[in-house]
Structure 1
Amino acid sequence: MIPIVVSHLTALDENIDHHFPSLSTEKYDWIRNPFMNIPSNIGLQLCEEEELATISSDRDLKTKHSTVPIDSFWISVQEEYPTLSKKALSLLLQFSTSYLCELGFSTLNNIKTKKRERLRSTEEEMRVCLSHIRPNIEEVAKKHQAQVSH
């Protein structure tokens, strides 16, 4: 049994390396800390390198960077440094947006079951399912009159 498990785990390890090669995160260090000494071979265009040099020499931005989250920092400099902040935000936000797409697709699959396949409009149901705001059932129930008999 041990050789079978070992060969299976070895095959999994090889497949993981094939499908998920190790990424060099060093070329994205400028996103985490734009104030460090950054090498020139990180794949930025000339205008992006100029914006990065300007950001790295600004003491006010350095103070701001140490007090706010990284995504808030790049959003706050978006007007002054649009090219660089757009690139940084696109790299930071790609993981959350793919998660939201998967969540929406799973929700749609749950709504459109075999018994409800003729349902044409799913926007309202998806809005309720994907909303982070939870309804106050007691308040909704107070606003509706109970059905009375004739």
Structure 2
Amino acid sequence: MLVYLTDIFTHLNELSISLQGSNKNVVIARVKLASFKAKIPLCLRNNEKGNLARFPSLEEVVEEHESLLPEVATTIRIHLEQLLYAFDGYFSAGNLEASDRWTRNPFLFQLSDMPDEDHFKKGIIDMQNDHAAKMEFEAKTLENFWASQVTRFPNISKKALTVLVPFATTYLCEVGFSTLLYVKSKFRNRLDAQHDMRIALSKKEPHIPDIIAKKQEQMSHS
């Protein structure tokens, strides 16, 4: 069964990596989790048919020892059912489905899916009929788009940002700790690393010539 664990942890590791990154938001995380969760019943059905294509390492071993298949199939079924139950516990159905689906794409959102009493509906109608906003949506990232619409569509933009801005994972926190360990080593343990970390974590490229030009030349005292 160690071979099976190798395969299943490979899938879980791929899921974890897909959730990491500076441009990941809660909506993306929900979609990825929902997709992974939906594949578990598929694996269960394939397992009942003796199809181990989703577990290539295990499949290779079973091909050499076909007598192991019934026992392996039973063990896989039990584990996958437990895994599905664990996902339901950590990520309930309500959390996996974005309650405000229009935040992901307000222009493809079906207004019939939203009750007329929802006070955001009018703002979405206005946006869907704004061609300039649609062009900006196609040219910008989701977060940048909504941030740029706060002045024109304040109600729905602020609501969308409350969905998108919260950290989806601990990725950025982990990057910060890793940077701190690199900047503040045992040879620089008295360093106030605040400004150094800001530079290290920033995505902006410094314009070195301008920085040098603003610095006063140190004159020799000899």
TM-score, scaled relative to structure 1: 0.58
Matches within 5 A, 1:91-130: 91-95=163-167, 99-117=171-189, 119-130=190-201
**Which of 147, 158, 161 is the matching residue for 1:75?**
147
1:88, CA displacement in angstroms? 1.6
1:102, CA displacement in angstroms? 3.2
1:37, CA displacement in angstroms? 1.3
Aligned AA for 2:97? S
Deviations 1:51-109 (A, max 9, x none): 223323x2435643564324443223212322321222233344589644432222112
Aligned AA for 1:81? F
- Name stretches of at least 5 consecutive residues in structure 2 with no aligned partner: 13-79
State the identity as a percent: 26
- Name the CA shift for 1:53/1:98 in 2 (closer, same or farther; >3 Å): farther
CA distance in 2: counterparts of 1:66 and 1:7, whole angstroms: 42
Match of 2:114 in 1: 40
Q: Is the 8 A contact 1:75 1:89 kept in 2?
A: yes
Structure 1 position 24 matched with structure 2 position 100: no
1:16, CA displacement in angstroms? 6.8
Q: Is the 8 A contact 2:143 2:164 kept in 1?
A: yes
Q: Is the 8 A contact 1:64 1:73 kept in 2?
A: no
CA distance in 2: counterparts of 1:72 and 1:94, whole angstroms: 14
- Name the CA shift for 1:105/1:49 in 2 (closer, same or farther; >3 Å): farther
Q: Which has the higher contact order (CA 8 A, sep 6+)?
A: 2
Aligned AA for 2:145? F
Q: How many residues align?
A: 138
Aligned AA for 2:194? E
**Which of 64, 74, 78 is the matching residue for 2:135?**
64
Q: Is the 8 A contact 1:51 1:84 kept in 2?
A: yes
